[in-house]
Amino acid sequence: MDYKEEIKVFSSFLKRRGLKHTDQREEILKAFLSEEKHLTADDLYLLVMKKNPAIGHATVYRTLKLLCGANLASEIYLKDNRVCYEHKYGHRAHEHMVCVHCGKTIELRIPEIESLVKKVEKEHGFKLNDYALKLSGICAKCGKDTK
């Protein structure tokens, strides 16, 4: 995959912000897109490092924030409020239900929430590009184990 679309989105976002489109930023974007699962900033740093050890930790962190700003990535909270990142561009909105015990994470779509968001947008003339809903509890397996 060449990630042409995503690179274009990132590029025009950087331009709007008056920032440069650097090779390092693009490498970080590509590494991020190459992994389909939820990633922490450290996971991404390790991926990037394998390809280009010259890219520093801080650059990876800052670039991740930029990817969120460009709507290419979103920040999600998993077990113990660990911050992870996942792809946003071209992906459907979904929620994460997290077991506080074992960390099991289920991705789910709740159509009622999507229509509620649409209703709220319409009422207030807003276009929401992000919202967060925290769903945490005990999964079926852990529920059984603790009985």
Interaction site with Zn ion (CB under 5 A): 86, 99, 101-102, 104, 107, 139, 142
Distance in Å, CB of 102 to Zn ion, minimum: 3
Q: Quick one: how many helices (H) and strands (E) in the chain?
A: 6, 5
Nearer Cβ to Zn ion, position 21 or 38? Answer: 38
Q: Report the run of H or E that residue 43 belongs to, with start and end.
A: helix 41-51
Hey, what are 8's tokens?
Answer: 């274009």
Contact 92, 108 (CB under 8 A): no
At its nearest, how many Å lie between Zn ion and the CB of residue 67? 15
Strands of 24-120, DSSP E: 73-77, 83-87, 95-99, 105-108
User: Which lies closer to Zn ion via its Cβ, residue 21 or residue 101?
Assistant: 101
Which residue's CB is nearer to Zn ion, number 56 or number 143? 143
**51 CB-near residues (< 8 Å, 6+ apart):** 27, 31
For the CB of residue 98, give the shortest distance to Zn ion in the complex, in Å: 9
Judged by CB, which is closer to Zn ion: 47, or 138? 138
CB of 121 to Zn ion, least distance (A): 22
